[in-house]
Chain A
Amino acid sequence: GAVVSQHPSWVICKSGTSVKIECRSLDFQATTMFWYRQFPKQSLMLMATSNEGSKATYEQGVEKDKFLINHASLTLSTLTVTSAHPEDSSFYICSALWYFGAGTRLSVL
């Protein structure tokens, strides 16, 4: 079974709203989790490294205030897309160790 659970799998929201995506490690504790973004027909691009109990490390060009990451426990990291706009529409994937979540497809209208 899946060892990394990601929810929701699909979300449609109105422009200007915020969306929260959860990533849970099911059978192990993860002090570090990773968030990726994938545009259609492109590769996965690392957005940020989520660190339990401390601030996330963002890759160059990723807006910290747009993509809020919280890693409050050893099994849960959340990514909140704040004030979403159509250009934020994408496929977001989390990982812990070498296990990946099923991804979240975000569509902003």
Chain B
Amino acid sequence: GIQVEQSPPDLILQEGANSTLRCNFSDSVNNLQWFHQNPWGQLINLFYIPSGTKQNGRLSATTVATERYSLLYISSSQTTDSGVYFCAPAYSGAGSYQLTFGKGTKLSVIP
């Protein structure tokens, strides 16, 4: 199966700082998602990004599918950004959509 590596595993930021999270994956995929898991366990989809760059407020993501990596940028971090960020490449086909999760990056934003 697909191998997914996320870095760094842990990250501590001062409020207002910027950060970049990286996701490397081993095989070709036709999709990729970034999730934020809040302290209650709910997974919140941030981006659905098979390739290219997308932005949503202070967050943006870039996937370079040919080089098998994706980046998540967080600018002007806030304490509410704390949590675990998961990258999940997906291979979809024949009515199925199966995600493989990385181990996540635990982000702690301190005031």
Interface residues of A (CB under 8 A from B): 31-32, 34, 36, 38, 41-46, 49, 91, 93, 95, 97-100, 102-103, 105
Decide if A49 touches B96 in the complex (CB within 8 Å): yes
The reply to whether the CB of B66 lies closer than 8 angstroms to some CB of chain A is no
The reply to whether the CB of B101 lies closer than 8 angstroms to some CB of chain A is yes
Contact A43 to B104, CB < 8 A, known contacts A31-B95, A34-B98, A98-B90: yes
Mask, B8-45, CB within 8 Å of A = 1, is 00000000000000000000000101010000111101
Q: Which residues of A contact B40 (CB under 8 A)?
A: 102
The number of inter-chain residue pairs (CB within 8 angstroms) is 48
The reply to whether the CB of B103 lies closer than 8 angstroms to some CB of chain A is yes
Q: Which residues of B contact A98 (CB under 8 A)?
A: 31, 33, 45, 48, 90, 97, 99
**Shortest Cβ distance from B35 into A: residue:** A100
Decide if A102 touches B41 in the complex (CB within 8 Å): yes
Decide if A103 touches B86 in the complex (CB within 8 Å): no
Decide if B41 touches A32 in the complex (CB within 8 Å): no
Decide if A46 touches B98 in the complex (CB within 8 Å): yes
The reply to whether the CB of B89 lies closer than 8 angstroms to some CB of chain A is no
Which of B41, B42, B103 is in CB contact (< 8 Å) with A43? B103
